[in-house]
Amino acid sequence: VVRRIGIIGTGIMGADHARLLTRAVSGAAVGGVFDLDDDRARGVAQASGGARVFADPYALIADDDIDAVLIASSDATHEDYVLACVAAGKPVLCEKPLAPTVDGCARILDAETAHGSRLITVGFMRRFDPGYTDLKALLATGEIGAPLMLHNVHRNPAAVPGLPSSALITNSAVHELDITRWLFDSEITEVAVHTPRPSGNAGGTRDPQLLILTTASGVLSDVEIFVNARYGYEVRCELVAETGTVTLDAPPPTAVRRSGLHARTLPADWRPRFAEAYRLELQDWIDGTGQGATAWDGFAATFVAQACVNALESGERYTVEMPPTPGLYRR
């Protein structure tokens, strides 16, 4: 069986997902696309083997020939589209964030809970990155003892000028908020955010930032988020445990030695760095294996991100008082 996927939003991520679904994932085909920019939608439809172009995203969601929906439109539109998918009883993969506000995420949880079974997956693709899955598997062996600290580095070469300082948290560091909960299987209970003198290249944005997260299990996870680092895209971390450490990096296999330099190339953005994670995430979704982040994970990430934004704006530590996990999401 080939599942026919409808894609809402054919920008950078929507186009990339369409390409992977068409070329790199088995059992899937792009059945339809919608984008506010008609030409862009047509281009992606053509590259996806002649998928239908819809003029209305809700018509795409309701269409009998669309089996499941992938949402890669702008963040503020996610909630309405996800709710429409739940109302139609269709599986949906929504790019992060599930919704930009805690209230929006809560409305989605209510809708899915009322529906009574899980339809929603959130695109926290790092959960499928071979480096992170290795790290989690290694931790589970107990070979390096109990985890104590995780040092995360997350850098982008350049952000749009005028980016709000909160966006470093809600749009970028939100990945580390999710990966911290996932890796340690423990909720984040306290957050603090520190900022150095902003980079002169950040155009007034408070960039970089240092987040300090504490989990219920007592692990400290610090996150350097720097979105105007200029030199390239980089995500790495080091886990410190009782009897050993693990570093996660993604060096390309080729290194150049020339003119007194020993160099490896860095990507310009996250797509090459997480290409395999995206492919595995989509294959898991199509297969219905259910390893992806749930709506509850999406809610939790937005909830903790909000606490971090409060901490950034007030300069104070925040205790994160997350509501109890609804029954639908308990293991």
Residues forming contacts to ligand ISE in the complex (CB under 6 A) are: 156, 171-172, 175, 227, 270
Select 278 or 318, whichever has its Cβ closest to ligand ISE: 278
Smallest gap from Cβ 172 to ligand ISE, in A, equals: 3
Smallest gap from Cβ 94 to ligand ISE, in A, equals: 13
Smallest gap from Cβ 154 to ligand ISE, in A, equals: 6
Cβ contact 78:95 at 8 Å: yes
Select 171 or 189, whichever has its Cβ closest to ligand ISE: 171
Select 76 or 148, whichever has its Cβ closest to ligand ISE: 76
Residues in the chain: 331
Select 68 or 225, whichever has its Cβ closest to ligand ISE: 225
Which residue in the shown chain puts its C-beta closest to ligand ISE? Answer: 172
Preceding omega of 157 cis (within 30 degrees of 0): no
Smallest gap from Cβ 166 to ligand ISE, in A, equals: 13
Select 54 or 233, whichever has its Cβ closest to ligand ISE: 233
DSSP state letters, 3-40:
EEEEEE--SHHHHHHHHHHHHT-TTEEEEEEE-SSHHH
Select 175 or 181, whichever has its Cβ closest to ligand ISE: 175
DSSP secondary structure letter of residue 328: G
The CA distances from residue 185 to 7, 12, 75, 216, in Å, are 31, 31, 26, 9
Smallest gap from Cβ 123 to ligand ISE, in A, equals: 8
DSSP state letters, 264-310:
----SSHHHHTHHHHHHHHHHHHHT---SB-HHHHHHHHHHHHHHHH
Measured distance between the N- and C-terminal CA atoms of the chain, rounded to whole angstroms? 29
Beta bridge partners of 122: 94, 293
Smallest gap from Cβ 285 to ligand ISE, in A, equals: 17
Handedness of CA 324, 68, 172, 161 (dihedral sign): negative
The C-alpha angle 257, 259, 263, rounded to 5 degrees, equals 35
Smallest gap from Cβ 173 to ligand ISE, in A, equals: 8
Select 135 or 168, whichever has its Cβ closest to ligand ISE: 168
Q: Which residues contact 182 (CB under 8 A, 6 or more apart)?
A: 124, 127, 136, 293, 297
Select 152 or 294, whichever has its Cβ closest to ligand ISE: 152
**At what angle are helices 78-88 and 102-115 packed, to 10 degrees?**
0
Smallest gap from Cβ 162 to ligand ISE, in A, equals: 15
Select 61 or 223, whichever has its Cβ closest to ligand ISE: 223
Smallest gap from Cβ 210 to ligand ISE, in A, equals: 16
Kindly state the helix (H) or strand (E) to which residue 217 belongs, with its residue range. none
Q: Which residues of 142-173 are buried (b: 16+ CB within 10 A; e: fewer)?
A: eebeebeebbbbbbbbebeeebebbbbbbbbb
Cβ contact 227:166 at 8 Å: no
